[in-house]
Amino acid sequence: MHEEVVFAGFGGQGVLLMGQLVTYAGMMEGRNVTWMPSYGPEMRGGTANCGVVVSKEEIASPLVSEPTSVVAMNRPSLEKFQGMVRQGGLIIYNSSLVDVEPARNDVRVLAVPANEIANELGDVRVANMVALGAFLGATGVVSVDTVLQALKKVLPERRHGLIPLNQKALARGMELAAALKAG
């Protein structure tokens, strides 16, 4: 088991947090993990991404150059990263904001209307958790229960009231991945 994932979107969508949760959960499940953010002259609305490696083996390079999965929360991210995904890998994209189809036919593709679902749940800010749920459902890299435990550690205590909403968002994403798997 060796997964290299890129989470990408625009600043403010919570892509760094998505990566951190998978990394944290991976560590809690006894895997080796690394998390590497893009950083630089970036701001809200600019692009942001992080590369996460979760592995049974000791992790050599923490830099993800040929991801097994990409989760793209907006169109520039899909366009930037889709070409890097390994054959047979996975592309999850936020179809609420991305109005093109991925240009790959040698990978699994999951369209997730993350913003729409998040809006249904009452808060567009959990779009990242919908996409993360879909990612967990499609790959099983870590379990959703561990991600929820990780969320408790990553979120400051005054924000713990938001955990049930995040849990719902994760569950909706999982359902979507399951439905697409079955279909």
Whether 48 contacts 11, CB under 8 Å? yes
Q: Which of residues 41 and 164 has its CB atom nearest to another protein in the complex?
A: 41
One character per residue 47-86, x = contact with another protein (rule: CB under 8 A): ------------xxxxx-xx--------------------
Sign of CA dihedral 43, 15, 8, 33: positive
Q: Which of residues 27 and 111 has its CB atom nearest to another protein in the complex?
A: 27
Q: Which of residues 20 and 68 has its CB atom nearest to another protein in the complex?
A: 20
Smallest separation, CB 169 to another protein (Å): 22
Q: For residue 52, give the nearest of 84, 80, 89, 17 by alpha carbon.
A: 17
> Quick check: 20 binds another protein (CB under 8 A)?
yes
Separation CA 105–CA 101 (nearest Å): 10
Q: Is 116 exposed, middle or buried (0-12, 13-18, 19+ CB in 10 A)?
A: middle
Distances (CA, A) of 121 to 13, 19, 164, 166: 16, 22, 11, 10
Smallest separation, CB 106 to another protein (Å): 18
> Quick check: 39 binds another protein (CB under 8 A)?
yes
> Quick check: 32 binds another protein (CB under 8 A)?
yes
Count CA atoms closer than 13 A to 168's CA, side-chain side.
14
Q: Which of residues 43 and 63 has its CB atom nearest to another protein in the complex?
A: 63
One character per residue 87-126, x = contact with another protein (rule: CB under 8 A): ----------------------------------------
Separation CA 154–CA 135 (nearest Å): 19
Q: Which residues are near another protein by CB under 8 A? A: 20, 23-24, 27, 32-37, 39-41, 59-63, 65-66
